[in-house]
Amino acid sequence: MKTLRQYLDDTPCEEPLKDLIELIAYQSIPIRDAFIDNQTYAGTENTYGEEQAALDKWADSHLISVLGKSGFVKAIASEEQADIVKFPDAFGDYAVVMDPLDGSSLIQVNLAVGTIIGIFRGGEALQKGEDLAVAMYMLYGPMTVLTITTGNGVNTFALNSEGLFVLLKENIQMPEGKLFGSGGIRNEWLSAHQDFITLCEQKGGKLRYSGSFVADFHQILTYGGVYCYPAAQGKPEGKLRLVFEANPIGFIAKQAGGAISDGKQDLLTVVPEKPDHRTPIYVGSKSIIESAESCMKGC
């Protein structure tokens, strides 16, 4: 079976970028190995006031250390850091944006969680999502799965018993599908979002929502539908972050024939204002995102 490196060698990616992708992908092994010893909460909050799991802090520290020592990366924007981490002496000129451990509240109940990664050329982390060189995520479920695009289609790899990522699915196209899931507190949803969810239900949609963006999106990528975390009463900016979460996942969605929106515009065209740039998110099958935007008009 084709390995991750063999796949990368068939892409136009430059050699240092191939090496960086592999380096990041195989950090899924130590991250997964750290689950058992990092089950609890750390007793701290990240810069956004969210309680950190022990593994949030461990994965963030581990990835920053590995990437810093590699020399490939000039800058890292991480969900667990208030500021962009810079490596001015790096010989490489890449910037990495990352959510080191998405869905970490699910670790104690053994549900799927993941790591979200985006890579930019040029050493700057605050770029438009459409300018990503690479978007990828590692999903820690029954299998450890890597989903990746280098801007020419979406492929999924699984970690085998020999510790190699081997091709599982290639040239993935997201079907239209009927799955839907929405974050937030229902009685705080805006009326336009409530109308959209009602529309999904009326069309026979099936509710799927775990609390892990990576796991929920992976279902949407496979079966089609929509994942959303909307604006809410008193929270017009939503909860999720454009830089670490929306852009890498949205880039993958678009490469698979889907779309991502804040309900009014393509999120991949938005220039981040700061690392903590929050945004409503609707991501999934293209026609369903168009329906969401129709519902949001005038909101």
Which DSSP string corresponds to 143-188?
Answer: SEEEEEESSS-EEEEEE-TTS-EEEEE-S-------EEEE-S-GGG
Confidence grade of residue 278 (pLDDT, cut at 50, 70, 90): very high
Judgement on whether residues 102 and 210 belong to the same structural domain of the protein: no
Judgement on whether residues 67 and 154 belong to the same structural domain of the protein: yes
How many domains in the chain? 2
What is the full DSSP assignment across 13-51? --HHHHHHHHHHHTTHHHHHHTTTT--SEEEEE-TTSPE
| Domain extent at residue 126 | 4-169
Question: Above 80 in pLDDT, residue 8?
Answer: yes
Residue 174 within any structural domain of the chain = no
Range scoring the smallest mean pLDDT among 51-55, 210-214, 248-252, 291-295: 51-55
Confidence grade of residue 105 (pLDDT, cut at 50, 70, 90): confident
Q: What is the mean pLDDT of the chain?
A: 93
Judgement on whether residues 186 and 156 belong to the same structural domain of the protein: no
Closest CA to 145 of 160, 159, 127, 162: 159
Residue with tokens 């091709």: 167
Question: What count of other Cβ atoms lies within 10 Å of the Cβ of residue 294?
Answer: 13
CATH of the domain at 188: 3.40.190.80
Q: In 160-175, which positions are buried (b, 16+ CB within 10 angstroms) versus exposed (e)? A: eeeeebbebeeebebb
Question: Above 90 in pLDDT, residue 132?
Answer: yes
Q: Say what the pTM is.
A: 0.94
Considering 169, 189, 218, which residue would you say is the last residue of a domain?
169
Judgement on whether residues 86 and 228 belong to the same structural domain of the protein: no
Confidence grade of residue 47 (pLDDT, cut at 50, 70, 90): low
Judgement on whether residues 165 and 185 belong to the same structural domain of the protein: no
Biggest alpha carbon distance in the chain?
Answer: 56
Q: Give the three-class secondary structure for 277.
A: coil
Judgement on whether residues 139 and 268 belong to the same structural domain of the protein: no
Confidence grade of residue 38 (pLDDT, cut at 50, 70, 90): confident
Confidence grade of residue 53 (pLDDT, cut at 50, 70, 90): confident
Q: Give the three-class secondary structure for 74.
A: strand
Q: What is the number of H-type helices and E-type strands within the chain?
A: 8, 15
Judgement on whether residues 135 and 264 belong to the same structural domain of the protein: no
Question: Above 70 in pLDDT, residue 14?
Answer: yes
Do the Cβ atoms of 286 and 258 come closer than 8 Å? Answer: yes
Question: Above 90 in pLDDT, residue 292?
Answer: yes
Give CA–CA dist 189/201, Å, rounded: 16
